[in-house]
Structure 1
Amino acid sequence: MSFSSDEVNFLVYRYLQESGFQHSAYTFGIESHISQSNINGALVPPAALLSILQKGLQYTEAEISIGGDGTEQRMVESLSLIDAVMPDVVASRQNQQNQQKQQVKTEVQDTNGEEEIIILSVVTSNVGVGVAMNERVGDREGMEVDEQQQQGSSTGGSASAVEIPASKATVLRGHESEVFICAWNPTTDLLASGSGDSTARIWDMSDNSQAPSQLVLRHCIQKGGTEVPSNKDVTSLDWNCDGTLLATGSYDGYARIWTTNGTLASTLGQHKGPIFALKWNKRGNFILSAGVDKTTIIWDAASGQCTQQFSFHSAPALDVDWQTNTSFASCSTDQCIHVCKLNVDKPVKSFQGHTNEVNAIKWDPQGHLLASCSDDMTLKIWSMKQDTCVHDLQAHCKEIYTIKWSPTGPGTHNPNMNLILASASFDSTVRLWDVERGACIHTLTKHTEPVYSVAFSPDGKFLASGSFDKCVHIWSTQSGQLVHSYKGTGGIFEVCWNSRGDKVGASASDGSVFVLDLRKL
């Protein structure tokens, strides 16, 4: 049995996709010419690369446990992947085990000249084993420290007291692949979700609905004069302000506009390659999109035509956010942020300072401050009044995936609450920031895997967070305490609140979407 380089490349590409490394998967796919290989991806099972590696380890273990003469030797303790590719390490470990085995039984003469067999457990607990034991004790102590940190003085509350039982959640099944995004309609309890199965779905979660119904929005492309499924991920979706239209962006390079009854109203085709993000402006007359083709586009929502295309980034554009109805910011893997305006040929402002790709950007509710987060592990706050950042917030120890502003502060519906910024990181924590002071107010540490999504309740009093540990946590923004917790069946990509603030929706890597009705708790 042997692998071709094409097959190995395809397994790595599929692993990156399944792990949620969408940008890396796309880049690797382009460079390794995945699209030109003749591999039928439908025949490759999920987690194929990990499965093959695991079987390889088991084979290597079995091989080592059989002596050169074919007799079975003592099995070495379970191999790690690194061990398996370092035969010298494996050999030395096996020699050490053989020496220990010989030392276990030692014959000595007692004072009467009689033979005694003494099990020298002290001898076998030699320096090497002692060190291993010390390391394990150290690991355990580290785990205990971690557990204490997980409890966190700022998190408070008993996990069992806040846990939401499975019976209290409504699980929505229908998607056939991971569900990357979900968003509530701003006026009714319709929940939209977008998936790797090349569909978006609209779920009716209103109280007068006997059982949640679903509309399936199939993303198709023209091929040979007929419509066929695009077989590409739906990467982004956003409702317009009055909830009458849903826009979706896809890896097939098209943005689409749908009505609430699932009818395709427009197809927007100008990007060359996957769309990573799209947003309606507040007035609802323009849609903004960002793509792998390094451009951002403002679309006329009524006609579906490209109004203006901006080509200022030197690498894929990852996120966009409107500042006003006609101006916006965009960020990219090129580490730059540009602020652009309709009918203006060049950026009206550019911000530089990040040292790795910028994953997300968000304007505060007033459009005065722009927050950005990056793989460089920093969170930065920018103002149109200056070129350098207002705050450079360095507290996370891994990549920061996304950020959200609270819907509070001067000029909002909640003027008496301070403006807060939330950041979600691959270091498994969420941080809440007082942006005026540039200080971290709370570190929320209950998650145990990367946190992909955070969302404030409409009144700003609560924050929902979703992680790949399969948990959705709901926190008090005032105290930082954990209020509710629910464990789903897949890693959480997105969390969102309905307009009344009494339901939380979440989408997961196993194809499930679920809704937590907080009125029932």
Structure 2
Amino acid sequence: MSGDTPDIQESQDIYLNKDEMLEEDVEDTGEPMDDDEGDVEGDVDGDGDVQGDMEDQQAKLDMINAKDDSIQGFFNHKEPVYALSIHPINPDIVASGGGDDKAHIWSITDGEHAIAVLEGHTDSVTSTAFSSDGQLLATGGMDGFVKIWDSSDWSLKVDLQLGDECTWIDWHPRGNVLLTGCADSTIWMWKLPKGDNMNVFSGHTEMVTCGRFTPDGKSIVSASSDGSLIMWSPTEATPITKITGNDARFNLDGGITAMSVNPAGTIAVAGGAAGGVRAVNLANGQVVGSFECHKEGESIEAISFLPEGAAGQGPAGVVVTGGTDGVINVIDLTTMRVRNTITIEEPVTVLEFQKQSPFFTVGSVDHKVRIFDARTGTLCKELEGHSEPVLSIAVSSDGSRIISGSDDGTALVFEGDSNTK
């Protein structure tokens, strides 16, 4: 990774001067300090300055010695990086949103220099998404606003005000229509670039935790922390099918935390806060699969379907689920059986497939990024470089580049596995 951030440079200075630091920990007699002596006990047990300084120095030395597989990075956020999106036409351009209340536009090949800084949100930017043609970028914030930016010059086109915090955004697969999920239980649909409100969908009773257009763009599927899943008519803003926890076969304790729709648009898979996974036929709202393949009480954090055209795809689809139990399950919905179970060290935070490929990338709390083959469950590559949990991932369409955002305030670029290209 080229270039050093100020923190890394400071750590390098400490490392080079470590002998001088050690000399400062020696008493006037020239002997090393004895932890049993009263003066040291006073420092440690009193204000803790000695112990605190030593812990800070050790942490910085650990950062220097940590393994780093990244080939590039972006360090301007300084706060957690919650969202990442790669431009669909120019894959060199990345949009990232973070806890600094900003979205940054930067280059995969030259991460040290921002292309643009998109300001105006007053709380964390937790969602970013490019329109299908790449001409517009949407950024969603905890401030209850979604902002639309023109990618030709990164100027602000329009502000969309929601009723509450924005929880997710999704563009129509073929047009400039945007869905925005909201913490107040509603979904809003907008016509852009003017920002006309087309419909408001009301049917959930709590936060809409996840949602999206179906792959053909003809319907909308959403899920909520109230445990309900709804398939909507976009034009009528009315439910086509709805299933709730009142159906004992579907009940997901604690509400729905993750959801995805198969490429055919016929089945939705939802995961719950207590670890359950359910497959639902979207045509009639019937539960067609129930899986208790994660530890009870551990939430499902990520669900993603094997993309259309990928090897290993069955008629109903193959879906991958990841949870806070550190378990990843590859489920074949044609046979309704778990094909592979993968266990990693720490909770899974995010999961994304490469386009038209059986390879998927996982981010986790143990700071690592891993690439797996959904056909076999094989670990293809393990990548390190972050010092805090991975919160977001974006994968280039050809799998050659993987970008990860972390709680450490950085976004790192890694080379994808050659077998995944």
What is the TM-score of this pair, normalised by structure 1?
0.62
Measured against aligned partners, the alpha-carbon deviations of 1:25-47 in whole angstroms (never above 9, x if no partner) come to xxxxxxxxxxxxxxxxxxxxxxx
Give the counterpart of 1:348 among 240, 252, 255. Answer: 240
Give the counterpart of 2:124 among 220, 225, 233. Answer: 233
Give the counterpart of 2:73 among 155, 171, 175. Answer: 171
Matched-pair contact (CA < 8 Å) for 1:459–1:501: no
Where structure 1 has 5 or more consecutive residues not aligned to the other structure, the ranges are: 1-163, 221-228
**SS of the residue 1:440 aligns to:** strand
Measured against aligned partners, the alpha-carbon deviations of 1:393-417 in whole angstroms (never above 9, x if no partner) come to 1110111012001113xxxx34764
CA distance in 1, matches of 2:148, 2:272: 30
Give the counterpart of 1:374 among 272, 279, 285. Answer: 272
2:103 — aligned with what? 200
Where structure 2 has 5 or more consecutive residues not aligned to the other structure, the ranges are: 1-65, 245-249
Q: Quote how far apart the aligned CAs of 1:212 are.
A: 5.1
Measured against aligned partners, the alpha-carbon deviations of 1:62-114 in whole angstroms (never above 9, x if no partner) come to xxxxxxxxxxxxxxxxxxxxxxxxxxxxxxxxxxxxxxxxxxxxxxxxxxxxx
The one-letter code sitting in structure 1 at the alignment partner of 2:242 is S
Matched-pair contact (CA < 8 Å) for 1:277–1:289: yes
Measured against aligned partners, the alpha-carbon deviations of 1:477-511 in whole angstroms (never above 9, x if no partner) come to 22211111112222101222112221111110010
Matched-pair contact (CA < 8 Å) for 1:460–1:477: no
Map 1:277-292; keep pairs closer than 5 Å. Answer: 277-292=168-183
1:384 — aligned with what? 282
Q: Quote how far apart the aligned CAs of 1:346 are.
A: 2.5
- Residues 242, 212 of structure 1: CA spacing in aligned structure 2 closer, same or farther, 3 A cutoff? farther
CA distance in 2, matches of 1:511, 1:345: 39
The one-letter code sitting in structure 2 at the alignment partner of 1:464 is T
Q: Quote how far apart the aligned CAs of 1:520 are.
A: 8.2
The answer to whether structure 1 residue 451 and structure 2 residue 348 are counterparts is yes
CA distance in 2, matches of 1:311, 1:298: 12
CA distance in 1, matches of 2:68, 2:113: 20
Matched-pair contact (CA < 8 Å) for 1:462–1:476: yes
Map 1:95-106; keep pairs closer than 5 Å. Answer: none
Q: Quote how far apart the aligned CAs of 1:311 are.
A: 1.5
Map 1:32-71; keep pairs closer than 5 Å. Answer: none
CA distance in 2, matches of 1:452, 1:416: 25
Q: Quote how far apart the aligned CAs of 1:291 are.
A: 0.5
Measured against aligned partners, the alpha-carbon deviations of 1:373-406 in whole angstroms (never above 9, x if no partner) come to 1113111111133333110111101110120011
The one-letter code sitting in structure 1 at the alignment partner of 2:397 is S
2:190 — aligned with what? 299
The one-letter code sitting in structure 2 at the alignment partner of 1:508 is S
Matched-pair contact (CA < 8 Å) for 1:298–1:309: yes
Q: Number of paired residues?
A: 340
Matched-pair contact (CA < 8 Å) for 1:332–1:357: yes
The one-letter code sitting in structure 1 at the alignment partner of 2:213 is W
2:158 — aligned with what? 266
The one-letter code sitting in structure 1 at the alignment partner of 2:105 is I
- Residues 321, 345 of structure 1: CA spacing in aligned structure 2 closer, same or farther, 3 A cutoff? closer
The one-letter code sitting in structure 1 at the alignment partner of 2:402 is V
**SS of the residue 1:356 aligns to:** coil
State the percentage of identical aligned residues: 21
**SS of the residue 1:347 aligns to:** strand
Measured against aligned partners, the alpha-carbon deviations of 1:284-326 in whole angstroms (never above 9, x if no partner) come to 2210011111100111123112110111111111111101424
CA distance in 1, matches of 2:418, 2:336: 37
Q: Quote how far apart the aligned CAs of 1:267 are.
A: 1.0
1:73 — aligned with what? none
Matched-pair contact (CA < 8 Å) for 2:73–2:112: no
**SS of the residue 2:78 aligns to:** coil
The one-letter code sitting in structure 2 at the alignment partner of 1:503 is R
CA distance in 1, matches of 2:67, 2:175: 39
Matched-pair contact (CA < 8 Å) for 2:269–2:277: yes
CA distance in 1, matches of 2:349, 2:398: 23
Give the counterpart of 1:501 among 375, 399, 417. Answer: 399
The answer to whether structure 1 residue 484 and structure 2 residue 381 are counterparts is yes
Deviation >6 Å, runs of 4+: none
The one-letter code sitting in structure 1 at the alignment partner of 2:166 is I
1:335 — aligned with what? 227
1:187 — aligned with what? 89
Matched-pair contact (CA < 8 Å) for 1:275–1:292: yes
Matched-pair contact (CA < 8 Å) for 2:258–2:303: yes
CA distance in 2, matches of 1:303, 1:326: 22
Q: Quote how far apart the aligned CAs of 1:281 are.
A: 0.6
1:214 — aligned with what? 114
The one-letter code sitting in structure 1 at the alignment partner of 2:303 is I
Q: Quote how far apart the aligned CAs of 1:364 are.
A: 1.0
CA distance in 1, matches of 2:70, 2:227: 43
Give the counterpart of 1:427 among 309, 315, 325. Answer: 325
CA distance in 2, matches of 1:438, 1:195: 38
What is the TM-score of this pair, normalised by structure 2?
0.76
Matched-pair contact (CA < 8 Å) for 1:382–1:390: yes
Matched-pair contact (CA < 8 Å) for 1:420–1:432: yes
Map 1:72-151; keep pairs closer than 5 Å. Answer: none
CA distance in 2, matches of 1:294, 1:304: 21
Give the counterpart of 1:400 among 300, 304, 326. Answer: 300
Q: Over the residues paired in the alignment, what is the CA RMSD in angstroms? A: 2.0
Q: Quote how far apart the aligned CAs of 1:370 are.
A: 1.0
CA distance in 2, matches of 1:171, 1:469: 19
Q: Quote how far apart the aligned CAs of 1:165 are.
A: 5.7
Q: Quote how far apart the aligned CAs of 1:460 are.
A: 1.9
The answer to whether structure 1 residue 441 and structure 2 residue 332 are counterparts is no
CA distance in 2, matches of 1:360, 1:245: 26
- Residues 455, 330 of structure 1: CA spacing in aligned structure 2 closer, same or farther, 3 A cutoff? same
CA distance in 2, matches of 1:337, 1:433: 20
Give the counterpart of 1:245 among 129, 136, 140. Answer: 136
Measured against aligned partners, the alpha-carbon deviations of 1:333-378 in whole angstroms (never above 9, x if no partner) come to 1111111112325211102222321112221112111111111311
CA distance in 2, matches of 1:210, 1:238: 21
Matched-pair contact (CA < 8 Å) for 1:371–1:380: yes
Q: Quote how far apart the aligned CAs of 1:273 are.
A: 1.5
